[in-house]
Amino acid sequence: MTQALLFKTDIDRGGEWEGHLARLLPDLEIRTWPNKGDPKDIVYAAVWQPPKGELAHYPNLKAIFSLGAGIDHLSSDPDLPKNIPVVRMVEPGLTQGMVEYVVMTALYLHRFMPAYDEARRRHDWIEVGQIATKDRRIGILGLGVLGSACAEGLLKMGFTLSGWSRSEKAMPQVRCHHGAAGLEALLGESKILVSLLPRTPETEGLLNRASLEKLPKGAAVINVGRGATLVEDDLLALIEEQHLSGAALDVFQQEPLPKESPIWDHPRIFMTPHCASMTIPETAAQALAQQIKRHQAGAPLDHVVDFLRGY
């Protein structure tokens, strides 16, 4: 029987992915959605944002691989097959991209660029000052694969760090907090807050007026996790009231960000269209192929989603 891998991405990269996958997984036929052929041949699916209900049509599917680190594009499908593993993307290219983005935006905020940018638009020659990275504590929400890699990158720049996770953790040079009391402590001490949380019922709306007000006056926010975590109107109001000094946002409550959103033109917000980091076909295909080969050999898969936790 033919065994095939169903592949679906949102960016056409000229067959780059398919080339790597065909080379690394010669015993599987690579079928790029929507050209799925006989649904009975599909044994693995590697997908980003498949249409809702799509993955219920493959009776021999053994595992689903997300092409992104987030799996909310899959968990939001009420017809997602329940009896097979769903695996998050963990690969060095995606991790490196996120470290670059978080270090870049942390430095942007640390060096008061929103204030300079705003002054520049008024043709105002101003001087805001400078402080040492060791005197700036950055709080990272989410100390998973990406949060812990970003912590390492920020430590290299000399920042002082705190982090927050669901379970208790210990990381060298990071003041680790967890749970509700831990969040309160982290917010109270973070001059830059980075969210690298997945979208789950617990993280939705977590960063709202009440929680953001706990940040010290003049603090700034970086959201690279999911847009649903941050209540955008509350952030905008707190910038307006000068409780917060600025933000760097890559993910939004609604994507694409609606044309009329004030975030597009906000002088104190650095924004990008959900591109903080992307899976790199070459390295991600290797990670995917390793996982599939392990599964074919009967070994356990890594990074399997726990749907009770929601990530």
Which residues are known to be catalytic?
226, 274
Q: Which is nearer to ligand NDP, 56 or 263 (CB)?
A: 263
CB 54 within 8 A of CB 14: no
The set of residues, in sequence order, having a beta carbon less than 8 Å from that of 173 and lying 6+ positions away, is 155, 161
Which positions from 63 through 82 interact with ligand OXD, judged by CB under 6 A? 68-70
CA distance 93 to 155: 20
User: In terms of CB distance, is 50 or 68 closer to ligand OXD?
Assistant: 68
Quick check: 165 binds ligand NDP (CB under 6 A)?
yes
10 Å CB burial of residue 194 (0-12, 13-18, 19+) is buried
Of 71, 80, 28, 20, residue with least CA distance to 280 = 20
Residue 147 near which of ligand NDP, ligand OXD, none (CB within 5-8 Å, type-dependent): ligand NDP
Q: Which is nearer to ligand NDP, 3 or 208 (CB)?
A: 208
Q: Does 197 bind ligand NDP (CB under 6 A)?
A: yes
Closest CA to 102 of 171, 157, 53: 157
Choosing from 114, 142, 227, 246, the residue that interacts with ligand NDP (CB under 6 A) is: 142
Is residue 219 near ligand OXD by the rule CB under 6 A?
Answer: no
Provide the minimum distance between the beta carbon of 16 and ligand OXD in the complex, in angstroms, as a whole number.
16
Segment contacting ligand NDP by CB under 6 A, of 31-39, 195-203, 211-219, 231-239 = 195-203
200 interface partner picked from ligand OXD, ligand NDP, none, CB below 5 to 8 A per type: ligand NDP
81 binds, among ligand OXD, ligand NDP, none (CB under 5 to 8 A by kind): none
Question: How many residues appear in the chain?
Answer: 311
Helix, strand or coil, per DSSP, at residue 290: helix
Distance of CA 283 to the CA centre of its chain: 18
153 lines the binding site for ligand NDP (CB under 6 A)? no
91 forms part of the interface with ligand NDP (CB under 6 A): no
- 281 binds ligand OXD, rule: CB under 6 A: no
16-24 vs 281-296: helix crossing angle, rounded to 10: 30
- Supply the minimum distance, in Å, between the C-beta of residue 180 and ligand NDP: 9
Which residues fall within 8 angstroms of residue 209, CB to CB, at 6 or more apart? 231, 234, 237, 238
Q: Which residues bind ligand OXD (CB under 6 A)?
A: 68-70, 89, 94, 278
